[in-house]
Amino acid sequence: MTIPDVTIMGAGVFGLTLALACLERGARVQVIEKRSLGAGSSGGIVGALAPHVPENWNTKKALQFDALCLAEGYWARVALLSGMDPGYARLGRVQPVPEGGLARAEARAEQARSLWQGVAQWHVLRAEEAPGLPLVAPSGWVIHDTLSARLHPRRAGEALAAAMERLGGHLVIGDSASSGRVVWATGYEGLEALSVALGRNVGGGVKGQALLLKYAAPEVPQLFADGLHIVPHADGTVAIGSTSERDFTSPDNIDEQCDTLHARALEICPALQGASVIARWAGVRPRAKSRAPLLGSWPGRVGHYVFNGGFKIGFAMAPALAPLMAELVLEGRDIIPEEFRLEAM
């Protein structure tokens, strides 16, 4: 290709959505990935796109809400450009109401009516009235929200890469020289390197483990209970995840914690009893110190930028954040909300 205007380091969901946003603005783009497509946490298997609870509203929650609202159109466009199915479907989510938590769940339903602007609902239902897979709800009540969606992370990454190349972008696997403006979207290793460069902690990695069951339930809501995601996909599988491990010795080692996830999932959703395990996954997710994604110019490095830190919400947030980042990189126009600014860390 001709000399690029922008080089993006890292072919995870942040790097690829930014590449697409820059290409759609007429820039020449290359993405350099030293290992493989989605080699970090973007190559996971869970794919839950779910909102924060509708209370204590702030910029982060509002932007995530906007991102979830635009997701269907965004992924449909990616599918059209790439000719590949990213596995997106907005089928909602069911979660048990904890013992003693009914009043709080109903208060959140009232908040959702206002904050979600009629785009989606947060229903409190008797457990037997919940759609989809039955789950154990000791209180007898569940929450059903219609905003949550699912995505197949690996297929979504492949579709993004194909869409980017369709628009003239160039993906390089392996080492290559950067040119033009450089954006670092390099996951937890990038956060660690940035912390060293700046002399302060801006973030690091949290390991997660997950597994995939052979069980066909392609059109039902995902389940969420006590931090555990159970996400049915369109290909006849159900993903279960994930752990959150701050201390680890190997980024991709799978151990007994994955077995514990499986056991917990069967307790929550007994219908999965007997479903065979067909895959296990482990990887490290980039977590900024602020828990919000980090966007902005790299302090002290002219022409370099950082787009990183999508801990647990990367696939949900990236399509909405990438245009903000593209405006900064290509036009020098900084419209990044304060909560996401690297300089504020």
Domain that holds residue 176: 6-88+149-202+290-344
Q: Is the pLDDT assigned to residue 151 strictly greater than 90?
A: yes
pLDDT value at residue 105? 97
301 falls within a domain: yes
139 falls within a domain: no
75/161 same-domain check: yes
283 falls within a domain: yes
State mean pLDDT over 223-230. 96
Q: What is the side-by-side strand order in the sheet with 6-9?
A: 170-173, 29-33, 6-9, 181-184, 304-308, 294-297
Q: How many domains does the chain have?
A: 2
- CATH code of the domain in which 208 resides: 3.30.9.10
- CATH code of the domain in which 66 resides: 3.50.50.60
Q: Which of 273, 288, 303 is the last residue of a domain?
A: 288
124 falls within a domain: no
247 falls within a domain: yes
277/209 same-domain check: yes
Q: What is the C-alpha to C-alpha distance for residues 191 and 286, in angstroms, rounded to an integer?
A: 7
Q: Which of 288, 313, 329 is the last residue of a domain?
A: 288
Q: What is the C-alpha to C-alpha distance for residues 121 and 101, in angstroms, rounded to an integer?
A: 18
319/283 same-domain check: no
81/167 same-domain check: yes
223/312 same-domain check: no
- Read off φ and ψ for residue 58, nearest 5 degrees: -145, 180
Place of tokens 């752990």: 243
Q: What is the C-alpha to C-alpha distance for residues 67 and 106, in angstroms, rounded to an integer?
A: 25
197/229 same-domain check: no
244/339 same-domain check: no
pLDDT value at residue 138? 95
pLDDT value at residue 40? 87
Nearest to 124 by CA among 71, 211, 53: 53
pLDDT value at residue 1? 58
Q: Does residue 54 contact residue 237 with C-beta atoms inside 8 Å?
A: no
* Angle, vertex CA 307, rays to CA 211 and CA 13, nearest 5: 35
What's the mean pLDDT when you consider all of the chain? 96
Taking CA atoms, 288 is separated from 67, 86, 208, 314, 331, in Å, by 19, 26, 15, 12, 26
Least confident of 46-50, 72-76, 207-211, 288-292: 288-292
81/165 same-domain check: yes
- Read off φ and ψ for residue 122, nearest 5 degrees: -120, 100
If residue 171 lies in a helix (H) or strand (E), which one and from where to where?
strand 170-173
272/244 same-domain check: yes
96 falls within a domain: no
136 falls within a domain: no
Taking CA atoms, 284 is separated from 162, 250, 280, 281, in Å, by 25, 9, 14, 10
State mean pLDDT over 122-144. 97
Q: Is the pLDDT assigned to residue 273 strictly greater than 90?
A: yes
| Bond prior to 242 in cis (omega within 30° of 0) | yes
Q: Is the pLDDT assigned to residue 2 strictly greater than 90?
A: no
26/171 same-domain check: yes
269 falls within a domain: yes
70/29 same-domain check: yes
190/262 same-domain check: no
